[in-house]
A = this chain, B = another copy of it.
Amino acid sequence: MKQDTKQDTKQDMKQDTASAATSTPTVQAGILGAAGYTGGELLRLLAHHPRVQVRSVASSTWPDQPVHRAHPHLRGCSDLVFTRELDVGDLDCVFLAGGHGVAMAQVPELLRRRPHLRLIDLSGDFRLHDPDAYPRWYDREHTAPELLSRFVYGLPELDRAAVSGAQLVANPGCFATACALALAPLARAGLTGTVHVTAMTGSSGSGAQPSATTHHPTRATDLHAYKPLRHQHVPEIEQLLDRVAGKPSLRVALVPVSAPLVRGIYAVAQLELPDGWNAERVRAAFASTYAGCAFVRLLDTTPSLNAIVGSNFCDVFSSVEGRRVVIIAALDNLVKGAAGQAIQNLNVMLGWNETTGLLFPGLHP
């Protein structure tokens, strides 16, 4: 039960670390595209993971530079040096943290060189199972469509069994994680119809390259919607909801909004409940779906980004007024929405405790 899990977490945090650190074999990991924000976040989080050692970090922009050139906070915490190519020699697993299009170009070669390498792709390249969907949402052809069916979509709270033992995992998008966690309990309960979602995002989601949308003089005081109803995370959300429901499920009308903050996804979903539903039943659907899920915190009050920033938690809230239901999900786009979830997936893939190295609070204030 959730409550029990919680009461033990504090002890877990230290024991986990202790027992793991003393058990011998650790996993050797590499990171491709390690100079970006998700690469930096992987390095930050894996620095404290008791069973993973990062051995090789590749970056085409900072070859032969210490990692703290791209990630100044790692100065004194890591003596890794970027290389142009990944040294896959002894690696057990690789995180692909480059942008969309990079993974599909690299994965075939990686698997040719080490057929049993475990891969976790943080881009959108292997999330959609339908080969026709990729060009429609990503405006380019997929160059490795034969691999699509081999990748498992890795949102452990909703499909832990599929991730467990998988070799190749597609890590969900940040909006997708928030929306899927907000809607899966209702999809699982059989609800259908259109959900209206407005979801705010921090600027770190746009990556480390300066651009007009992340220019501080305009971004700092702005709200700006983009790709209304056309964001590329929509098909992966619907694909997952269908899978969770076991049939065609909720459709998602998503309006993403750039907000003047650095980290965070804050998704507000609204829909109308069918007959027979009330607040109690909604609450029960969420409680049963997330029983035993350490990283989903069900709240009685509206979530705040500053309770989750820096952590792997996703805070979820629901409120019912008559037929109307509002669901809000809040997470850190770089942690539960990217690097943290990628590590969580690795934990599950390898049969470890899902929370290994990840059960830390965020930064507040």
Contacts and interface: CB of A to CB of B under 8 A. Distances in A.
Contact of A364 (B40, B76, B302, B308): B40
A228 B365 contact: no
A264 interface: yes
A150 interface: no
Contact of A10 (B44, B79, B306): B79
A42 to B, nearest CB: 12
Contact of A47 (B79, B216, B226, B361): B361
Contacts of A75: 297, 307, 313
Interface stretch (A93-101, A235-243, A255-263): A255-263
A254 to B, nearest CB: 10
Nearest to A318: B228
Interface in A106-146: none
A293 to B, nearest CB: 10
A162 interface: no
Contacts of A202: 217
Interface in A267-308: 268, 270-272, 294, 297, 302-308
Contact of A50 (B18, B72, B255, B361): B18
Contacts of A37: 217, 365
Contact of A9 (B77, B210, B294): B77
B229 A255 contact: no
Interface stretch (A83-91, A152-160, A165-173, A319-327): A319-327
A247 interface: no
Interface in A299-343: 302-311, 313, 317, 319, 321, 324, 326, 328, 330
A219 B47 CA distance: 25
A244 B72 CA distance: 30
A210 B214 contact: yes
Given A203-B220, A364-B40, A76 B313 contact: yes
Contacts of A216: 203, 214-216, 219-220, 260, 262
A147 interface: no
A200 interface: yes
A355 B359 CA distance: 21
A201 B360 CA distance: 26
Contacts of A64: none
A9 B75 CA distance: 10
A13 interface: yes
A54 to B, nearest CB: 9
Interface string A203-220: 110101011101111111
Interface of A: 6-7, 9-10, 13-15, 17-18, 21-22, 37, 40, 44, 47-48, 50, 71-79, 194, 196, 198, 200, 202-204, 206, 208, 210-212, 214-226, 228-230, 253, 255, 257, 259-264, 266, 268, 270-272, 294, 297, 302-311, 313, 317, 319, 321, 324, 326, 328, 330, 359-365
